[in-house]
Amino acid sequence: GNHECRQITTVYGFYAECNRKYGNSNVWQYFTDMFDYLPIAAIIDKAIFAVHGGLSPSIHTLEQIKILSRVQEIPHEGPLADLMWSDPDADKEGFHISPRGAGYIFGQDVVKRFLHINGIDKMLRAHQLCMEGYQILFDGTFSTVWSAPNYCYRFGNSASALEIDESLSMFYNVFSAAPENDREKAAPVTKGQPDLYFT
């Protein structure tokens, strides 16, 4: 996902954590080098497309994803960045510039066309805070799975892990933060989704 890059791991504390624990940045460098080899997306049983973020106006087929060069830092723009940073919006059609500063906002029509062209049934992704731990959109063809409970120790959100069985039925295992992982912060828990959130 978009967090597995040098810039974001530096901003969100992984770099500092490695330096603090190991006395230098070598471990951080090994991890971020390895992150450059993580797959862009996956196809589950020829029926479900899974990606971190969303879709790109530059990509129409799975073959176009297969030929992307993955062994690199996630760029700031282009098809690979779009797959990591884009988000759905049930109130929009087509593609629109994202307020995140990277990727796009896309509507149900975009998802429907992508699924049809590629002969797949559903799309799964993460990347976006869901207060209930997951969100299902676009007549059940599109799901967001959020796995960080009480994100940033302040949103009070649930999280989920998705199970897909042999018949491709989906079950969302919803969970809350473990008590020993709840941190008291000066800022109160925010109920409701923020206007702009980075993942």
Closest CA to 174 of 155, 159, 162, 153: 159
> Distance between CA 99 and CA 172 in Å, rounded?
28
Instruction: Write out the catalytic residue numbers.
Output: 3
**Residue indicated by tokens 């869901």:** 130
Please, are residues 87 and 135 in contact by the beta-carbon 8 Å criterion? no
pTM of this structure: 0.85
Compute the CA torsion angle 45, 50, 54, 58 (nearest 10 deg). Answer: -50
Q: What is the pLDDT along the chain (199 residues), one digit of tens a residue?
A: 777 889 888 988 899 999 999 999 999 999 999 999 989 999 999 999 999 999 999 999 999 999 998 888 889 899 999 999 999 999 999 999 999 989 999 999 999 999 999 999 999 999 999 999 999 999 999 999 999 999 888 899 999 999 999 999 999 999 999 886 555 544 455 555 544 444 4
Strands 134-137 and 142-145: antiparallel
